[in-house]
Amino acid sequence: MTGTAAAVLLALCPLLLVGGFLLGRRTAHPAGRSDVGSPVEHATFETLHTASLAAPPLRAGLTEDTARKSARRLRTLLGTDALCLTNRSTVLAWDGVGEHHAKLVMERLAGLLPTGRSAAFDCGCDDVDCPLRWAVAAPIVVDQRVLGALVAYAPRDSAVLARAADEVARWVSVQLELAELDRSRTRVIEAEIKALRAQISPHFIFNSLAAIASFVRTDPERARELLLEFADFTRYSFRRHGEFTTLADELHSIDQYLALVRARFGERLAVTLQIAPEVLPVSLPFLCLQPLVENAVKHGLEGAVTRSRITISAQDAGAEAEVVIEDDGIGMEPEALRRILRGEGGPSAGIGLSNVDERLRQVFGDDYGLVIETGVGAGMKITVRIPKYRAGVHSSPPEHDPA
């Protein structure tokens, strides 16, 4: 019965797919390393593997939790009976036997921590059965500051262990320096967001207020409306909590921004919005579309153009939302744009575009950077793709009036 056979074959398709996937994985990452080189090479690989396992926790900085996780690996790396990680004041983690020594460690390190020199000492343990008789302590130094120490214990003194402990402590230091680097990079981005919020203020605030002032006598109702738009817009832009927002809130703020801009430029600026309601709940980094619109307004109205049209569209595209911001302004030399995105644009270029690009990549991955199509005199089209779900990205609703 061919129908039955074919059906069975079809049913097997998913199984075959899964089987093939597993087989491919197995081939790509062989479980056994037995076929790799000589014993020396094998030992090298083992060491590097252990080191690579110890690295990830350390990249989060030196805390009790990360020290506990990495101490296990570091002890394997050194092959000692016990290993201890401390900061400047307390023991963070003890791995291995003889935990009663942990109480005495800090006294022993009194000489090491201020100087940053390695030291070896006898344990002087009263317990005759205790295997820990000798220890070597090596400092963990980040930016020429002693953060703590790594103490390795052994049954007897050993020059090899002293040397190895030194090297491992240095390796730990490097990992912690990298952690410090990660942190400062995040701080830079945070500072840039703050700068971005601050950047909104001077020109925009003067121009908006001037535009509003011009309506106060002729059209007081409009002036009042605009002032309230202005208040809402600044409240959103200066809000302090939450790294993420929803597309609906971001678009709402853009609408207020455009209302203020149009109060100033009147008929010179035409705006078209096309928004699919399905994508409004999408979460995205705070203030990551507004700078793009600001950019489009600036480009559109620069030069001798009498009228400018800006189109903003947000469409549903499967598991992603696609936001396109387009203007018919003066455009830009692609090479100059590339420089700006690389962060080499100089202070005059502003930090809007490159900051948005960088934050999108940081949150959603490198696949989700800005896509910009432009040429001199050809306008500019910026496409942003936002995945509908990404672990850890949760928007906060808008802050309402505390009153």
Partner 1 sequence: MNEAYAIPAVAAVVLVTVLIGGFGLRISRTTSDFYVASRTVGPSLNAAAISGEYLSAASFLGVAGLVLVYGPDMLWYPVGYTAGYLVLLVFVAAPLRRSGAYTLPDFAEGRLESRQVRTVVSVLVVGVGWLYLVPQLQGAGLTLQILTGAPRWLGGALVAAVVVLAVAAGGMRSITFVQAFQYWLKLTALLVPAFFLLLAWHRDGGAPPAFPAVPDLPASGAGAGQPIATSRADHPLYATYGLIVATFLGTMGLPHVVVRFYTSPHGRAARRTTVFVLALIGFFYLLPPLYGWLGRLYAPELTHTPDADAAVLLLPGRAVGGLGGDLLGALVAGGAFAAFLSTASGLTMAVAGVLSQDVLPARGVRHFRLATVLAMTVPLGGTLLVSAVPVADAVGMAFAVSASSFCPLLVLGIWWRRLTPPGALAGLLLGGGSALAAVTLTFAEVVRSGWLHTLLAWPAVWSVPVGFLAMILVSLATPGSIPPHTSATMTRLHLPESLTVRQTAAAAEGGSTSPPGTKSTPSGTSTPSGTSTPSGTSFPGSTSSTGSTSTREGR
Q: Which residues bind partner 1 (CB under 8 A)?
A: 3-4, 6-11, 13-14, 18, 228, 232, 240-242, 246, 248-249, 251-252, 255, 258-259, 262, 270-278, 280-281, 283, 315-319, 367, 388-389, 391, 393-403
Burial label, 159 (beta-carbon count in 10 A; 0-12, 13-18, 19+): exposed
| Residue with smaller CB distance to partner 1, 119 or 280 | 280
Give min distance, CB of 53 to partner 1, in A. 18
Tell me the H-state helices in 219-319. Answer: 220-237, 247-265, 290-301
Q: How far is the CB of 206 from partner 1 (least distance, A)?
A: 23
Report the nearest approach of partner 1 to the CB of residue 384 (Å): 14
Considering the complex, state which of residue 109 and residue 279 has its C-beta at the smaller distance from partner 1: 279
User: How many whole angstroms from its chain centre is CA 38?
Assistant: 41
Whichever of 123 and 282 has its CB closer to partner 1, that residue is 282
Q: Give the pair of three-digit tokens for residue 78.
A: 């050194």
Contact 285, 363 (CB under 8 A): yes
Question: Given CA atoms 75, 78, 81, 87 in this order, what sign does their dihedral have?
Answer: negative
**CA distances from residue 269 to 266, 308, 372 in whole angstroms, order as listed:** 6, 5, 21
Select 245 or 374, whichever has its Cβ closest to partner 1: 245
Can you read off the two tokens belonging to residue 151? Answer: 């103490």
Compute the least distance from the CB of residue 183 to partner 1, in Å.
18
Kindly tell me which of 155 and 242 has the beta carbon lying closer to partner 1.
Answer: 242
In terms of DSSP bridges, do strands 371-374 and 145-154 run parallel, antiparallel, or are they unpaired? unpaired
Of 282, 284, 373, nearest in space to 324 by CA: 373
Smallest separation (angstroms) from partner 1 to the CB of 381? 15
Residue nearer to partner 1 on the CB measure, 157 or 255: 255
CA of 52: how far to CAs of 77, 253, 348, in Å?
A: 11, 46, 43
- For the bound state, the minimum distance from the C-beta of residue 401 to partner 1, rounded and expressed in Å, comes to 6
Residue closer to partner 1, measured from CB, 80 or 290: 290
**Minimal distance in Å, beta carbon 302 to partner 1?**
21
Angstrom distances, CA of residue 265 to CA of 211, 262, 328 = 9, 5, 16
